[in-house]
Amino acid sequence: MVNSYFNNPGEAPSATVTVRVPATKLSDFLSFLRSHGVKVVSENLSGQDVTDQYVDIEKHIAILIKTNTKFEEILAKAVEVSDILNVNQQIINIQSQIDSYKGQQQYLDKSAQMSRVTIYLSTDEFSLPYAPSDTWRPEVIFKQAVRSLVTNLRQAGTALIWIAVYGVVLIPILIIARIIFRRLSR
């Protein structure tokens, strides 16, 4: 798994999941997703050619190896300690660059063998990143109506709880205030 995001706003939970799949298994994986999805809304396959990057890295490595070889020849002929230390430091720097480029090369190799797949999942079509083809659908409107009813019932229940909690304090105060007002008005 490369990345995952889950959102549960109460109305329609949704998720975005990005995974890497071996390129040789991509068609099997896509078939699996299609067979397990209730509705596949869209598919978009794209690739990125990294041949130029790979060739550039190979050129850099070749140049650095030649440079490293020359420094090793200089090191073999060096007599002064300061010269030996300076040349040795240059060899270490060059080897570090070679290792870095080889790491990039390995990453490109592995990336070329893997396909990146991003899947958008939802319990409600309207939360998916597309425009539905049918603009009026009774089943979706029914779901929205039920969700609205549940939301309104929750809000009414919340209001009743607040009234009950504050009523414990406010009702005695109002009764006492009314009794005092009646006595003062007589």
Structure tokens at 141: 């409107």
| Element holding 16 (H helix, E strand) | strand 14-22
User: What is the sign of the dihedral through the CA atoms of 102, 107, 108 and 109?
Assistant: positive
The distance from CA 64 to its chain's CA centroid, rounded to whole angstroms, is 37
Cα first-last separation, the chain: 80
Interatomic CA distance for residues 36 and 2, integer angstroms: 21
For every one of its 186 residues, what pLDDT tens digit does the chain have, with 9 covering 90 and above? 678 888 776 667 778 888 888 888 888 988 888 887 767 777 777 677 778 888 899 999 999 999 999 999 999 998 899 989 999 999 999 999 999 999 999 988 887 788 888 888 777 666 665 555 666 778 778 888 888 899 999 999 999 999 999 999 999 999 999 999 999 987
Q: Please tell me whether the overall predicted TM-score, pTM, comes out greater than 0.75 for this model.
A: no
Domain layout of the chain by residue ranges: 3-47+113-135, 51-112, 136-186
Contact criterion met (CB below 8 Å) for 2 and 18: yes
